[in-house]
Chains A and B, each alone.
Chain A
Amino acid sequence: MILLCGITTESPLALVREALDEMGAPYVFLNQRRFSVMKMALEISGGRTSGRLDVNGDSYPLDEFSAIFSRLMDYRFLPELRDKPEGSPEHLLCHNLLDTLTRWAEIAPARVVNRVAPMGSNFSKPFQAQLISQFGFEVPETLITNDPNLVRAFRERHQKIIYKSISGVRSIVQTFSDDDLARLEHFRWCPTQFQAFVEGTNVRVHTVGERVFPTAIRTDATDYRYAQRQAGDHAELREVELSDELAEMCVRLAQGLGLAFAGIDLKITPENRVYCFEVNPSPAFSYYEANTGQPIARAVAEYLASG
């Protein structure tokens, strides 16, 4: 049995659910918004994990679940809790239900897409870059500093540099411009991340177990996610093939980071050098699937079903 967790309208979760329906694979859908009518108990005894999950009017032993696909959202933003004060019984119940679920998923002998702990590397981009480089990928030259002189020298050396957030907070990648020079003195209070701009083709590689789904993205924007805003036109996405060697490197990287499912952001230069920028542990793959027809949701469903 597969357990799907999240809210029904979230696109990636909806796509995986559809794929499981097509396959006729049995699953239980845990709709986070209905937390008030669910119950869960977890026990760890002598190394064995057991317990029960009461959901949708049925009760399941935890060891019946062979796979878990979790797209849980921050419960504080659930509409059902909008008018409830923090610390209210509803908040506490929701927190404790999701916490019990998460604790179980961390240690359950099941296929989990993805466990929380390995997702942590994405919290710090330069930290993750250090891990990425251990798997044979090039990483863009990066400088984090609060010293304007170092930034000027870095820009002089690379000509074109970008800046972006250090943490996992979503930020728009921007090219550093002459106008930004005047603002350099303002960042002394907080070290900022700068990177050499790498010319080449953006490639997003989704890995699902040992399968890869590479998508090339054509745009003039610095950050293709904001192509319309930065370049005045949508990014063009198309399915591409990777060499066996590169595909294997991507699988090894995702596995090495402990991720059954990952979205790896690469840039391939005209000289065929492969830079890796980031590994997203919770990729919103529906955007890529919708634009290319790549069967990513189906691959996730098959991965879960073969657990």
Chain B
Amino acid sequence: MPASTFVAMLAGRQDACAPISANTFMWLLLCSAQDASAHWAYKGLRARGLLPLELVTAEMLLQSRKWEHRVDASGASISITLADGRVINNKAVRGTLNRLTYVPLQSLEGTPDYDYATQEYAAFFMSWLYALPPPVLNGAAAQGLSGAWRHVSEWVSLANKAGLPTPLYRQTSHDTINEKLEMRKLFPNGTPTTLAIAVGDRVVGPPLPREIRDGCLRLAHLAQTPLLGIEFVRGTSSNSWSFAGATHMPDLRLGGEPLLDALAAELFQPRSSSPS
């Protein structure tokens, strides 16, 4: 669906400046305050008529006045009253772009409860994020707040299952790499790469051969990560592509306007009833 269609469908539905309460439908963009990529997407999605779109940072969440997260036989719910008075309620959320990767508790660093609080907050965020209704790009998983984190060895294995051409991966006990300081890579640092971004059933980025494009979609599906950045290294022949890595946190700006269109299409799913 082109961007202009969203604007036509949504224009006038909500005043972007109207106060947000528990009874207002909204889209959510969750990110850290430093996530320039997410802030760029926020502007672009609003311009496409995804309104009201609430930008909520991890730092704002930590200042919340009130948390209410319930889990029982009927399901799970979340209601957050932010310090500025906005209320985020799962019943009113129509879709979420979730870029939270950690809970920034630096202010507690050095205190006796720091380690405990870090684990408690991360576990709490994992649960309430999982309670958000679809679509969520990307949803909380057991290995990460916005999609599962995977080691490069797992990505290679998955990429191969997805039918993408993969390079040889090698790891030994006597490697000198310290993974606490540096991540393993499939190609040497400085190797030029090309990024494709899978969003739902679309792939945004450079023109790709059909089988590579299909492989990207299969990889996103296998990884249960609907928004997935996939890097390739181009070979000397024009049709030679090699998988170079994948991330659930791609730099959205690299996808440009087509990515914003794809995100808007994925996040906009008509809902007939009002929140109760």
Which residues of A approach B to under 8 Å, CB–CB?
A: 38-47, 49, 87, 92-93, 95-97, 99-100, 103, 106-107, 117-121, 123-127, 129-130, 133, 138-147, 150, 165-169, 190-191
* Residues on the B chain within 8 Å of A167, using CB: 119-120, 122-124
Within 8 A of A (CB), among B157-194: 157, 160-161, 166, 168-180
A150 touches B119 (CB 8 A): no
B157 touches A107 (CB 8 A): yes
> Whole-angstrom distance between the alpha carbons of A233 and B131 in the complex?
40
Q: 0/1 per residue, B122-136, Cβ < 8 Å to A? A: 111011101100000
A147 touches B178 (CB 8 A): no
Closest to B163 in A: A47
A169 touches B174 (CB 8 A): no
| B142 CB–A CB distance under 8 Å | yes
B73 touches A133 (CB 8 A): yes
Stretch binding the partner chain, chosen from B23-31, B87-95, B146-154: B146-154
Quick one: given A45-B169, A120-B142, A143-B68, are A165 and B178 in contact (CB under 8 Å)? Answer: no
| B66 CB–A CB distance under 8 Å | yes
In-complex Cβ contact of B71 among A42, A49, A130 (8 A): A130
Known: A96-B177, A146-B67. 4 other contacts (CB 8 A): A41-B170, A107-B154, A124-B127, A141-B70
> Whole-angstrom distance between the alpha carbons of A127 and B116 in the complex?
18
* Residues on the B chain within 8 Å of A124, using CB: 122-124, 126-127
| B263 CB–A CB distance under 8 Å | no
Closest to B69 in A: A144
Main secondary structure of the interface of A (DSSP, over half): mixed
Shortest Cβ distance from residue B111 to the other chain A in the assembled complex, whole angstroms: 11
A38 touches B173 (CB 8 A): yes
Closest to A142 in B: B71
B171 touches A42 (CB 8 A): yes
* Residues on the B chain within 8 Å of A190, using CB: 117, 120-121
| B76 CB–A CB distance under 8 Å | yes
Shortest Cβ distance from residue A160 to the other chain B in the assembled complex, whole angstroms: 16
| B72 CB–A CB distance under 8 Å | yes
> Whole-angstrom distance between the alpha carbons of A96 and B174 in the complex?
7
| B140 CB–A CB distance under 8 Å | yes
> Whole-angstrom distance between the alpha carbons of A147 and B79 in the complex?
12
B153 touches A42 (CB 8 A): yes
Quick one: given A43-B168, A44-B157, A100-B172, are A150 and B121 in contact (CB under 8 Å)? Answer: no
* Residues on the A chain within 8 Å of B170, using CB: 41-43
Quick one: given A42-B171, A117-B142, A120-B142, are A139 and B116 in contact (CB under 8 Å)? Answer: no
A47 touches B175 (CB 8 A): no
Closest to B148 in A: A117
Quick one: given A168-B119, A190-B120, are A145 and B67 in contact (CB under 8 Å)? Answer: yes
Shortest Cβ distance from residue B76 to the other chain A in the assembled complex, whole angstroms: 5
Shortest Cβ distance from residue A248 to the other chain B in the assembled complex, whole angstroms: 20
| B252 CB–A CB distance under 8 Å | no
* Residues on the B chain within 8 Å of A125, using CB: 123, 127
A139 touches B71 (CB 8 A): yes
